[in-house]
């Protein structure tokens, strides 16, 4: 295994750990939202979160403690999971 391949594994593991920890902390809110105000399906809600994050990044708005790259990767992984389940 090359050094690059090993690094890919490490980075993917970090994202996996991040998503599992957030899922445990927030419940399964990304794929099973409570829908108090928004009635949008989870796929649409994830798309909005991705758009919001990209908008903040493009405008240079950064908040202390945010990791924009990890957040975007995480949202995209969740979107892929939601689409694979065809969650609505």
Q: Which residues of the chain have pLDDT under 70?
A: 87-88
Rounded CA gap, 85 and 88, in Å?
A: 9
Question: What residue numbers bound the domain in which 69 lies?
Answer: 3-85
Q: What radius of gyration, in Å, describes the C-alpha atoms of the chain?
A: 15
Q: How many domains does the chain have?
A: 1
Residue 24 pLDDT:
95
pLDDT tens for residues 10-23?
Answer: 999 999 999 999 99
pLDDT at position 87, please?
56
């Amino acid at each position: 295994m090359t050094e690059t391949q090993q690094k890919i594994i490490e980075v993917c593991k970090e994202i996996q750990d991040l998503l599992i920890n957030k899922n445990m902390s927030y419940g399964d809110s990304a794929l099973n939202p409570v829908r108090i105000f928004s009635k949008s399906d989870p796929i649409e809600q994830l798309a909005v979160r991705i758009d919001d994050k990209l908008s903040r990044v493009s405008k240079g708005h950064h908040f202390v403690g945010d990791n924009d790259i990890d957040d975007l990767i995480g949202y995209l992984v969740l979107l892929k999971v939601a689409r694979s389940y065809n969650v609505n």
